Amino acid sequence: MALVVQKYGGSSVADAGCIKRVAQRIVATKKAGNDVVVVVSAMGDTTDELIDLAEQVSPLPPGRELDMLLTAGERISMALLAMAIANLGHEARSFTGSQAGVITDGSHGKARIIDVTPGRIRSALDTGSIAIVAGFQGVSQDSKDITTLGRGGSDTTAVALAAALDADVCEIYTDVDGIFTADPRIVPTSRRVPRISYEEMLEMAACGAKILHLRCVEYARRYGIPIHVRSSFSQKEGTWVVDTIEGTAMEQAIISGVAHDRSEAKITVVGVPDKVGEAAAIFGVLANTEVNIDMIVQNVSAASTGRTDISFTLPEADGQTAMAALNKVKEQVGFESMRYDDQIGKVSLIGAGMRSHPGVTAKFFGAIADAGVNIEMISTSEIRISVIVNQDDVDGAVAAAHAAFDLDSEQVEAVVYGGTGR
């Protein structure tokens, strides 16, 4: 008998009809001889509606109370799901994050999981019940206050429970059939990736593929939990995210896919004195504002001026914060000016085989050049090459790279490529 953890997002439980359909899928998994633990998000628009209510009573609600409010969302969906399962003749018991033993730190709205003690879940399974657990929430270790985990929280709850329960697989249900070699809206011939390693998936997630959150993949890699990303709207196999698959992957395709991200902006700090500690000063200022920096490029210093330019990318949402912080230290650091550009896009080629195939980089740049696209910045890791291009050139660069690495399939699969919020 296997232990399966399934996670259903908000769109999978958007209304009573969806909940009943999900209940049937859960019961089918149980009937197939598995122990089943289900992690569920709030129904469709519930979270937005609750946030709207909060805004009506307070412009800046305290984090503790906002978490208390928002956790009502999963409470509703999980109870309804348990009822729908009971109505199919199977015993189901719903548990809040706190009841399921999801222990977190006290950072309301973005709490981190410290420990998982799923004693009540285990007991429910032992009596033959299906356990339904509220995603996205936990209880703080110190204050015993209710917390929420922030973006990607429900996926992370599922993987964390799978790890604590030593589950055989963590199935993440979403509204697409899995991970694709590129966004099918840009590349209609993109293919579903049947298997991908944690490392590649991390790079995909970090480079804009919104299906799985970085955080959940990091957790799964740390504990070796196989993730099966699949659609709640079909019975198809999805994408397995597993430990290294180099042995088999080498034989087939060394490139997993092409990811893109339009949500970043680029800041160039112009005329930075070329001396020790300047970069540290700039990025120290940015770290204090809690802005996440992505790519960094420092030009070769011009010998005549003794000055250099430093460019970096960051989430567009943090752009103004970063500009303001840097402006404050302009005199102190001694740079000349700044340039801000939010009309950029990042295109990334990801593949575990890259490290042993030196021709990959050249082929990637060549394909982008052939598409007439100018590269503004470059960043590489052992299993990824990313370039920054003009935002309007993203689609062309993605399609060109996808074709160059023979990722196109002959059959177009009909999917919607979208992200989940929680």
- Which residues of this chain interact with a copy of itself, rule CB under 8 A? 16, 19-20, 23, 50, 53-54, 56-62, 64-66, 68-69, 71-72, 75-76, 78-84, 86-87, 92-94, 99, 120, 144
- By beta-carbon proximity to a copy of itself, the closer residue of 87 and 244 is 87
CB-based contacts of 150: which residues, under 8 Å, 6+ apart?
109, 110, 111
Smallest gap from residue 125 Cβ to a copy of itself (A): 16
Distances (CA, A) of 313 to 187, 264, 300, 323: 25, 6, 18, 12
Grouping H, G, I as helix, E, B as strand and the rest as coil, residue 235 is coil
Smallest gap from residue 71 Cβ to a copy of itself (A): 7
Tokens describing residue 26: 């859960």
- By beta-carbon proximity to a copy of itself, the closer residue of 80 and 272 is 80
Q: Which of 6, 300, 11, 44 is nearest to 158 (CA)?
A: 6
Smallest gap from residue 124 Cβ to a copy of itself (A): 11
- By beta-carbon proximity to a copy of itself, the closer residue of 149 and 368 is 149
The side-by-side arrangement of strands in the sheet containing 264-273 is 296-298, 307-315, 264-273, 337-341
Distance CA 160, CA 37 (A): 12
Tokens describing residue 237: 């196999």
Smallest gap from residue 117 Cβ to a copy of itself (A): 14
- By beta-carbon proximity to a copy of itself, the closer residue of 6 and 77 is 77
Smallest gap from residue 50 Cβ to a copy of itself (A): 7
Smallest gap from residue 152 Cβ to a copy of itself (A): 23
- By beta-carbon proximity to a copy of itself, the closer residue of 117 and 305 is 117
- By beta-carbon proximity to a copy of itself, the closer residue of 139 and 205 is 139
Handedness of CA 412, 416, 419, 420 (dihedral sign): negative
- By beta-carbon proximity to a copy of itself, the closer residue of 18 and 245 is 18
Q: Which of 95, 104, 93, 97 is nearest to 70 (CA)?
A: 97
Q: Which of 37, 77, 39 is nearest to 173 (CA)?
A: 39
- Neighbour tally for 313: CB within 10 Å: 25
CA angle 377, 383, 389 (to 5 degrees): 20
**CA 218 from centre of chain:** 10
Task: Report the DSSP beta bridge partners of residue 264.
Answer: 315
- Classify residue 178 as left (phi > 0), alpha (psi -120 to 50) or beta: left
Judge whether 234 and 177 are in contact, CB under 8 Å: yes
- By beta-carbon proximity to a copy of itself, the closer residue of 81 and 102 is 81
- By beta-carbon proximity to a copy of itself, the closer residue of 157 and 308 is 157
Smallest gap from residue 22 Cβ to a copy of itself (A): 10
Smallest gap from residue 210 Cβ to a copy of itself (A): 28
Distance CA 417, CA 231 (A): 11
Alpha helices per DSSP H over 337-413: 359-370, 394-404
Smallest gap from residue 137 Cβ to a copy of itself (A): 11
- By beta-carbon proximity to a copy of itself, the closer residue of 109 and 366 is 109
Smallest gap from residue 268 Cβ to a copy of itself (A): 41
